Structure 1
Amino acid sequence: MEVLDTRAFERFCKILKGKAPKHIKIISDECNALIEQIKQHDIEAVIFNSHKLKSSTGQIGAKALSISLRDIETLAIEEKDLNHDGEVLVEKMDNLQQLIAQTCSALDEAFVQMNSA
């Protein structure tokens, strides 16, 4: 699956005009905060923020990250329901961090291409 749907990203940028970079930065910061919540085993926060980020990343065209966040949300709900401590989430954290980095790189590249066109 592609990391970034460039058509969706371009639509997002057209809608927000000059505010898109600010929104992308907020999403990036929230993704990094989610990693910290996973490390701290804060399952309630992981459920809430992965759900919110799943939608936000989908809107900007970050399909793979959105799907990964959906999976993290599902795992967090299962961990909570089973009264587990979130270790399963920690195991998924490296993949999530890598995908966040790939997505940020793809977004940066897309911004450069849009601004040079």
Structure 2
Amino acid sequence: MQRIEKGLGKWTRAAACLDADAEIFFAQGRRQRALALAICRSCPVRAECRAHAEASPEPYGIWGGVTALERGWSPEGRTMSSAKRRAATSPGHREPAGLSSKSVGSASRG
């Protein structure tokens, strides 16, 4: 289990995911994604986490309760146009399994 790194800023000290296994935030399946999103929903620093992901940028994983796809990243880690992002996140669109997955060997989480 890889722990969430704490060097992202003081806000991470209050993160609901602080002691969580970072792998769930880079989930390959719906069940893991749902668990990660549930942790984010209860997090008091969700806005700071999302802001970090958007400013960094973080092309993989769930940050601040938002998937990489919702933040505008393709499964390959490339940015998507606004039109592609809207289409990919529209109701009825299904995320491919593994969309948020990447090796978490060196991943930071907040």
TM-score (norm 2): 0.37
Question: Over alpha carbons, which structure has the higher Rg?
Answer: 1
TM-score (norm 1): 0.36
